[in-house]
Structure 1
Amino acid sequence: MEFDRRLGLGTDSAHLMIFDPTLVEQAREWPIAWYTEPAVWQDQSAKGHLAAWCTGSDGGFALRLTTGGLTDVEKSLAGPSWTFLLRSTGRVIADGDYLLPADQNAPRPADEAATIDLPEGLWQVTVTAIEWTASDLPQDEASKKFANYVVAFAPAEDAPTPQIAQRPPDLICLRDETAHDALPAPVTVKDNRPDISGPIPAGLSKNVVPPRGHFTSEGESNLLMSITPEARAFDAFRMPYFIGASLEIGAIGQICRFSGSGGAPGRPPRFTLTSQFTARITAIEGRLHEGTVIPLKKRWLFGSSPPPLGDYLAPLLQVRAEFVEPDMKPPQDLPLEAFKAALLESLDSGSLSEALGNVAAYHRLVLAEVESYPALATFAAQHLPMNAKTRADLSAKDFAPRVHALMEHLR
């Protein structure tokens, strides 16, 4: 079997890729761009499930798909190159991250031009970047004659096993560039605590998770009641919110950042939030309605009544809160290795596997490489099946009793 043809691909993620759709179907519920997570990429790349590379920018790119090699002229224009393993069950797809199964990529058929009939088995795919603008030909002619990437397919049997990249390598279409797969330096999360010395809005949510987790709330408390009708909706995004499973003095919850709203027509907005710091309510000053504080009354006189809740379960309150400062010393009688083993086992076949479904396999790959006790404990606290009050109370515990409690949930 031989082929040599040209294909145009676009990408909005600065990545191009080739894969057999039947071998990555398990990623249908995995996070978008899951292949950029190093541990997940290395696993899937070593299995030959995905060949992917970074182009350095979004846009359109021309590929020459071939069972041959580079021409002499292409060799003179060649930049960085990488060889990937690719397993085929009979058909593979070239893509710009539109068709790869993922949580936000809706299933749809591939264009016939992007489909490559490739006999079943293990292949090696060598991708070479071409600086066609360095050709002696006029630009219009060179752009039609040369591709940005030459993608060469060859059977993998008897060939040396290629190096597995740490991440999808950078293959920039310049001759003086080299292939890069170095991992970026770890990002240090700054302790930028919001100012909660004054009163802040407080809303109800059964989905709230410990820091720094993301969650949504729909039909519980209307966060937009924190601003006046004349204010811009963006003003609501600038303030901190206390979000908890209950709203009374002493209740534990999270100081959260409000990051978005959306949802279906005819339904209350679905608010998206990120928890940042654990806190406790110290005082309740009233109810917020269109940016105004209304006293909480047990009895309304002379025919007056509180503003209606509409489609919401609970009012947005105005409260005072204080940060909770747990002791983060690890337990002496429960080493990280034992906790991590229990966590991974739960992702394989325990309560976390049941709670997370198909995405548990993704998290297991990621967490197998994590050696941070707080990071492992935070994942467990965010994802183990438990009610919101239990989850909130755990986040306020000192670290040692917290992980012991989590261990009980893992068993």
Structure 2
Amino acid sequence: MNSSVDIKESREKVNSGLPFRALPLPDKQANVIKSDDEAIEIAEQLARKFSVDASTRDANGYLPIEELDDYSSSGLWGITVPKKYGGAGVSYATVAKVIRIIAEGDSSIAQITQNHIALTAHIFLDASESQKETLFDLVLKGYRFGNALSEKSSKNVAAFETKIKQDGNDYVIDGKKFYTTGALLAHIVPIVAVNGEGKLFIAFADRDSDGLTVLNDWSGIGQRTTASGTTLIEGVRVPAYRVIPVESFSRPTAAGAISQIVQAAIDAGIASAAIQDTIYFIRYNSRAWIDSGKEAASEDMLTINLLGDLVVKLHAAEALLERAGKAIDIAVSSPSEETVNEATIATSESKVLTTQVAIEATNKLFELAGARSALEEHNFDRHWRNARVHTLHDPIRWKFFHIGNYYLNGVHAPRHPWN
């Protein structure tokens, strides 16, 4: 191939509807990050790199295969591995900041990390000591966990129909999953399934396992290159040492809050990217409105006022993210009904505000930047599409209820992955 056009046209695209092959396993040891500061510095470097072609990937549906390799080999996928097992064990405030920064560069790439982080937490909370040593070692080597959690046709998100049964030294799993973010490009696909008694398990299946088929059929209007489509599970065998019973929601743990803070951080990153594009476009492309009496759009008093309002809301959302991360740190180190509920409520508060500012900022971009910003060549609608689709996770109408019910009536929020 002799031109960049040829190279772009040859890239794998999302939504072909076809089965997608398993990618090669990492051929070299990933970087092992040692501190919170190092994690943030690397995230900033990668986000700048990811942002360059983020719009092109969205517009053309290119899968971020090379970008994910850079991301997981950077060590950022291993920052929550506890120090006892060789990781940095960073603060969850740092985790939220890292994901927000990555999402600012490309929110689809940031979302692909979400389940990996949540599953790494489940290893810490639910796995045996030998399982922790084995699975954390893979994480630090640069292996990516996808997910096969949600099901499209069940009566609610927690009504799992995928079945698991023990057969000698293996478990055998059958089912069908959707919204399997990360599975397409993962090295290992953790499958959530229930046994005959309704007990929940996570089985860490190799991506190339017989009977495991990941379809490239994600057709969402936003977060397009997350490839969050279908996973078929037909007699997939997983060795018992890779199967973990899920116990972390039957006792006070921060599992739900950990999953949720990553979602909130992604929305904050989308809002930040939209606001940055709004500022740049107003400065260099927009015209002042005729009634303002100004020569430049950046001098328009009403535009300045509304932009300032967005920035304040974004900074407030970021502050709540940091606060939630610190509450999770306390719940992880000292789990109790009280500390876990405090982490859950704080994270819910951050999710409310990041959702609101993401939707508002991605909408206001067009209002403030003007008609020129709506031209297809800018692809600014990707910010709104990404915000609209991603904020459908875990609706904030229920966050308001649980927050209010706690402060008014002292009722603790329920514990599950969506809260």
TM-score, structure 1 normalization: 0.23
Structure number with the higher strand fraction is: 1
**What TM-score does the superposition give when structure 2 sets the normalisation length?**
0.23
Query: Highest relative contact order (Cα 8 Å, sep 6+), 1 or 2?
Result: 2
User: Relative to total residues, which structure has the larger helix share, 1 or 2?
Assistant: 2
